[in-house]
Structure 1
């Protein structure tokens, strides 16, 4: 009898060990003009780091992080390994779509980047995008004996062709890079769920928000730092392949010192391989 209890207990531990928390968070670039909401001058850095550490993600994907912000995160998140490059030179210049993962949980097997353009191997704008270079950073990890991939990106906010072609490119790259391994795709898509480009991805991957209630899954993720106004469109996502189970989904709308830590809300999910 004791042996049976032990076996069931062991199986329970193994099953729970395969669950982990994933967080996507557009932390808003460090811009002095943000005043009280500035990363450095307004001390928003501390608010964002408090929120992140409270959630204890095993994997964190950030968007809009300038290199000094990446360094701030690395200093505080010492138990994490960071992967990612600047979108403007493939090194440190420009915003990073950095991925952080717990070194004690995951083994890094491979990593890379590609740009959302017709020349994805070099820093570049794509199609009708006029604002910025856009990049996707990915890692191949091993956890509990299983290999899987994580992709983190930030879509263009204006060019409809760029959005659509970027969605197609990301799906193509996932197929090429991950092949048939499990995949997590996260980021700031700059598009609401009714957008055709989001729907292109939703046809191939599972939108984790669908495990949530109607109220939560339709909640906006952009706040523009306005604490007394309704949240705007849902534009931040975590998608997975069907072989990854979504256990829990939430959008964190917490204020710290009566302020938002970013102009976006983080999306946090519990997943199981």
Structure 2
């Protein structure tokens, strides 16, 4: 089975982004997704109206997830699944904290509640896939490292080929990212897609540009996978139009095979 996976931090809708506000970016964001045609989209920072707009324009995708706050509001780490490619067998959400099943909980000095949304999907040919989508904390290194531990523990409970993607708020050589790919008994070992790319197909210097032509060095958006999945290609979509980007992050796109 071959499929395309996208991870895309949408930049939450707010009153301070001026010309880069969501209403000025949303059509280009939808155009980008339609052009790339991913079977699975892992989003970060989407608010419910933003995700509803995207879902309505795309059509044919099921959305998984809810807001990170105790009442289900706030930023989502939503997963969108192409109904023509996959059916959803199971799904859920947990918080990156010492009490991961308590909605709205914070952990390890995190500045904000952080969540992982996950699902198990089944392709039309019968292949199954586990998808985990996370947005780790921007403030606390400990919250990110401990969050990785929690992610690997939860992913180890899933017995099918798995992918982990999202905004890790950490550079490639950081302890947090090295932590993801380590091999520890009782968890799983994941492959970083960046480690599989070659000089023949270089990627931009980073994935976060902050609505500027100066991309900050070192990616903070990642796709990892288990060894039973093969990476065929990895790219970012760096489009902009009339000085407007779809988001302050570039989406990362992987073509994968199970």
Q: Common fold, TM-score beyond 0.5?
A: yes
More helix by percentage: 1
Match of 1:171 in 2: 152
Quote the residue 2:17 is aligned against. Answer: 34
Q: Does 1:70 align with 2:12?
A: no
**Unaligned segments of structure 1, at least 5 residues:** 1-17
After superposition, the Cα gap between the structure-2 partners of 1:21 and 1:97, relative to the gap in structure 1 and judged at 3 Å, is: same
CA contact (8 A) 1:211 1:248 kept: no
In the alignment, is the contact (CA less than 8 A) between 2:163 and 2:225 conserved in 1? yes
Shift of 1:90: 5.4
Alignment check: 8 A CA contact 2:2 2:255 kept: yes
Counterpart CA distance in 2 for 1:90 and 1:136 is: 16
Q: Does 1:132 align with 2:117?
A: no
Q: Deviations along 1:176-223, whole A, 9 cap, x unmatched?
A: 2x1x31001010000011111111112220111233234735720000
For the residues of structure 2 that align with 1:102 and 1:78, how far apart are their CA atoms?
Answer: 9
- Cα pair distance change 1:230/1:82, threshold 3 Å: closer
Shift of 1:104: 1.0
Larger Rg: 1
Distance in structure 2 (CA, Å) of the matches to 1:54 and 1:78: 14
1:222 counterpart SS class: coil
Tell me by how many angstroms 1:77 deviates. Answer: 1.7
Alignment partner of 1:108 is 2:108: no
- Alignment correspondent of 1:142: 122
Q: Paired residue for 1:183, among 142, 162, 178?
A: 162
CA apart distance, 1:54: 1.0
1:19 aligns with 2:2: yes
Pick closer, same or farther for the CA change 1:201–1:217 going to 2, 3 Å. Answer: farther
| Pairing 1:59–2:43 present | no
Once the two structures are superposed, what CA deviation does each residue of 1:47-67 show, in whole Å capped at 9, x if it has no partner? 111111111101001000011
User: Quick check: 1:155 aligned with 2:141?
Assistant: no
Match of 2:254 in 1: 269
User: Where does structure 2 lack aligned partners over 5 or more consecutive residues?
Assistant: 183-188
Task: Work out whether 1:242 is the aligned partner of 2:199.
Answer: no
Whether contact under 8 Å (1:250, 1:267) holds in the other structure is yes
Q: Given the alignment, which residue of 238, 243, 247 partners 1:253?
A: 238
Deviations 1:97-152 (A, max 9, x none): 000011011011000000000010012111111x2100000000011211110000
| Segments of 4+ moved more than 3 angstroms | none
| Residues matched between the structures, number | 249
Aligned equivalent of 1:222, options 177, 200, 208: 208
Provide the C-alpha distance between the structure 1 equivalents of 2:256 and 2:39, rounded to a whole number of angstroms: 10
TM-score of the pair, normalised by structure 1:
0.88
Whether contact under 8 Å (1:212, 1:250) holds in the other structure is: no
Q: 1:197 to 1:230 in 2, by over 3 A?
A: closer
Shift of 1:231: 3.6
State the match for 2:66 in structure 1.
85
Partner Cα distance (1:86, 1:230) in 2? 29
